[in-house]
Amino acid sequence: MEIPAGQIKLNIGCGGRKLPGYLGVDAVAERTAADIVANANEIPLPDGCASEVMAIHLVEHLLPWELDATLKEWHRLLAPGGKLVLELPDLIKCCQNIISGRTRTGKHPDQLGLWGLFGDDRLEDPFMLHRWSYTFSTLAPKVEAAGFRKVKEHVTQFHPAGRNVRDFRLEAVKP
């Protein structure tokens, strides 16, 4: 496949979500909408091929040292000026929701609390369990150490019921 430099957008950890304008990447072929089946830290695409790397609710599924390697991989994939977009549960917000008893969204009994910390145990799927938790202030230094700049926190765009109640969005740029 011929990939023009900096011309694609990647949705890494896409799961069953196919987003218009994005090439989906996921490690699990059987239940995903992935265009490319690959681990998040070994994506078989050329350097500088992407204008955007987006990972929505993926970071929390990685151990810290796995995330370090994965961020370096995503930096490699981005063209200069390319954007990194991450959304994930905020450790402090999840704990505050648990303490205050504010954990329910719709029919989901604990989506704003324990699910944010550990994942949805009803799925009985080890890939869906959360392995680490962050806040913006604990994740931003890791993103900067991988070579990104202009690291900023933004309003979340996914999971509208929990928007800014449980999650946070980090955006950064490859210089």
pLDDT of 37: 95
Place 103 in a pLDDT band, splitting at 50, 70 and 90.
confident
pLDDT of 122: 82
Q: Any idea which of 32-46, 108-122, 144-158 has the lowest mean pLDDT?
A: 108-122
160: pLDDT strictly greater than 70:
no
CA atoms lying within 13 Å on the CB side of residue 106: 5
Alpha helices in the chain (DSSP H): 64-77, 91-100, 114-118, 136-145
pLDDT of 158: 84
pLDDT of 14: 94
pLDDT of 123: 79
**Gap between the Cα atoms of 66 and 52, Å rounded:** 20
Q: Quick one: which of 2, 3, 17, 1 has its CA closest to 77?
A: 3
Residue-wise pLDDT for 54-96, tens only, equals: 999 999 999 999 999 999 999 999 999 999 999 999 999 999 9
User: What are the residues facing 170 on neighbouring strands?
Assistant: 86, 153
6: pLDDT strictly greater than 90:
no
Domains in the chain and their CATH numbers?
Answer: 8-89+130-173 (3.40.50.150)
pLDDT of 33: 85
48: pLDDT strictly greater than 80:
yes
pLDDT of 57: 94
